[in-house]
């Protein structure tokens, strides 16, 4: 997330046990399976997970750390203090830092992973910068997830259809409804298939696809999958 954003703001709507939280858990289980299927990481492959959260109420908040078998191969990076991950998952390494300027050399990891983060880093330029950093540090592949702007319900606010409006109008209404946090582009900038594709191209991605994770037949999440080793 951006330096200005906070995970408390991200999770204050989706309380544990609520239907948005249950749906998020269900979808992230499916997206985790897609990560394994598309990236096919091996037992010795290293993974940088960019954008981990300090949230401990939802196990799916940091699903890669929770569900990946080879935790010692994960380097988790986040703006907030998520050092608890090192105790929760022995062998894992936590680094506090920003995805917009990762403290790693080129091709430091086999894979770069980032889930539900790119919509929280601010402007389109920042979103492109995040992807560029992921591309830079990965040797073999990149896997990025983000909610689909055109899904009928915006699950951060649990409001239907308002996010279909032009961004400026959408943010004005959010402010009037008391969602000041999400009305700030620095905290929420929803992406469509078109904008995610454009950002990937601007970031220099080669051999990539934007895939769909569906819910009730509609695309709820977008999955950006890029392979360097096949380019």
CA–CA separation, 63 vs 53, rounded Å? 10
> Measured between alpha carbons, how far is 124 from 94 in angstroms, rounded to an integer?
27
Percent of the residues in the chain that have a pLDDT greater than 70, as a whole number: 93
Record: fold of 7-227: Rossmann fold (3.40.50)
Q: What is the predicted pLDDT for the residue at 22?
A: 85
Taking alpha carbons only, the member of 69, 48, 39, 79 closest to residue 223 is: 39
Q: How many CB atoms lie within 10 A of CB 49?
A: 26
**In the chain, at which residue ranges do the beta strands (DSSP E only) sit?**
47-50, 74-78, 93-96, 109-115, 138-147, 153-154, 159-160, 208-215, 218-227
Taking only the tens place, the pLDDT of each residue in 13-41 is 567 778 778 888 999 999 999 999 999 99
Scanning the structure block, which residue is given the tokens 């401990």? 56
Flag whether pLDDT at 5 surpasses 60: no
**Average pLDDT for 129-157:** 96
């Amino acid at each position: 997330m951006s330096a200005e954003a906070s995970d408390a703001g991200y999770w204050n709507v989706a309380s544990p046990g609520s239907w948005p939280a249950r749906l998020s858990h269900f979808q992230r289980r499916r997206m985790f399976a897609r990560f394994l299927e598309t990236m096919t990481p091996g037992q010795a492959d290293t993974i940088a997970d960019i954008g981990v959260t300090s949230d401990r109420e939802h196990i799916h908040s940091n699903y890669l750390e929770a569900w990946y078998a080879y935790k010692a191969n994960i380097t988790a990076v986040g703006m907030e203090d998520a050092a608890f991950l090192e105790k929760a998952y022995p062998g894992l390494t936590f680094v506090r830092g920003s995805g917009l300027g990762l403290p790693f050399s080129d091709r430091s990891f086999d894979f770069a992973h980032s889930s539900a983060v790119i919509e929280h880093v601010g402007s389109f330029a920042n979103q492109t910068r995040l992807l560029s950093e992921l591309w830079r540090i990965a040797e073999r592949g990149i896997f990025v997830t983000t909610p689909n702007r055109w899904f009928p319900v915006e699950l951060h606010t649990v409001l239907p259809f308002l996010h279909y409006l032009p961004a400026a109008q959408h943010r004005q209404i959010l402010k009037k409804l008391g969602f000041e946090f999400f009305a700030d582009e620095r905290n929420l900038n929803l992406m469509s298939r078109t904008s995610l594709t454009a950002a990937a191209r601007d970031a220099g991605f080669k051999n990539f696809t934007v895939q769909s994770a569906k819910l009730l037949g509609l695309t709820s999440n977008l999955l950006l999958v890029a392979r360097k080793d096949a380019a």
